[in-house]
Structure 1
Amino acid sequence: MAHERCVRNKLDSTFPEDREAGERTALVWALPLAIASALVVGESASAESDMYGYVGANGLFEMTNVPTDQRFRPADSQARRLAHRVSVKEVEDAVERYAWQFQLHPALLLAVIKAESDFNPTVISRAGAVGLMQLIPETAIRHGVHNLYDTGDNIRGGARHLRYLLDRFNGNVRLAVAAYNAGERRVERYRAIPPYQETRDYVRKVMIYYKEFRGDYQATPGKAVLLAMHHKPLQLEPRPLTLEVRHSRLGAGK
């Protein structure tokens, strides 16, 4: 598939040292036939797209949001609902394990997952970000993720990336979260949260979730993950843009 070749060529040029590792993983675009009937794209507050798929002669399930072949068919709505399920136990185990491994507060991981996918393990964004923590292929390969649809593997990759960003921005959670959304180079360029409405809203959401989920961990640690999964997604009120204008008084005759 042309789109797949384009992605693979980009990955090879970006991370040539990871080419062999990338070839060993069925990453993003090819999935076992055994789960093809149930695996389709779901919707979330932050990532949604019309997706099409078909099972090829090689037994792999191929997906795209731009169908260029008549064999592609729209994702089935019933399969969408089935695919949205992820167990509390799976999320809880992965969050606790990787929060400890990468020295993160588990509430921060939950906050990012909530904002990114609303705990939908099969969602794919228009940019190609996949799964619970919405990892793009480059990030997934960089952090050794083998199966983006696996709860533990996806959370491990997201947690490792978040740890990397926190270290890069000297522990500043807001900047790390902004970089998770917009990319570290943009944050470094502005030396602040980039002036993009999507990124600023994203940071606001994550920080609100983070505060609430930390409270849940303190009050009822055994139910924090369950409460996060059933928390109603935030709908932020748009903030008015503030424009700073500096006046200078000109001298007489100027």
Structure 2
Amino acid sequence: MTEASAGKFRIAAIQTVSGPEVEENLAVAADLIAQAAGEGASLIALPEYFPLISPDESAKVRIREAEGRGPIQGFLREAALRHGVWLVGGTLPLVAQADDKVRNSTLVFDDTGRCVARYDKIHLFGFSRGAERYDEAASIEPGAQVTGFDAPMGRVGLSVCYDLRFPELFRAMGAVNLIILPAAFTYTTGKAHWEVLLRARAIENQCYVMAPAQGGQHPGGRVTWGHSMIIDPWGEVVAVLESGPGVVLAEMDIDRIRNVRESLPALRHRCL
């Protein structure tokens, strides 16, 4: 494991309002990645489902890719290499064991375009209130492995959307400097719980949290909460974008992490 001993790193969360056309979604993502890189970000993260959000749940199965091959992975690899950035590819649909399902997977590419990590979303969202219903398990196969990677800013933990409600996953990451959580929170659940849960994960783990999200009304009627944000180890929101496509930028300060952990050594005080 590498651990950054000092320094500041500019990180960026990208917010989109993805629709059912993959090429259009990739074009939007390309522009926002370029914008973030142009503003000095060395690590950039895309939201959950950035290549596709469709009212047809089988659409994700039709575009799923085998690991290491496919146009979406090619797009991520090329963007990381072209801009010389670490790129966390939100989530994209990868081949699952079941023919009618996908893995909702985060792939991480380093600044040379090499894939250095994969995380398959473990917790699958289910919600039912009146006419609003979601059941990710109908088309997604869950992962089982907690995953992180080593980057210039130290250890980074990976999680996705609904994982946010399960703090034991984040404890299982061990000591990390940054947690990244691509998401597509619904408007209903996001308005109630998004910020408070993100801030709790930052406070509990005394690290930065970066949450790139879908944010707006999508073709087909789905509405996502947005509010992509970056939170510091004291639980303070340092940057946020409420809705619409855009980029959220902040400096990640390694000394800030160290100072919080030294003044309040809660991680060392754990008994369980």
Which structure: larger Rg? 1
**TM-score, normalization by structure 2:** 0.25
Give 1 or 2: higher helix fraction.
1
Q: TM-score, normalised by structure 1?
A: 0.26
Give the structure with the higher percent strand: 2
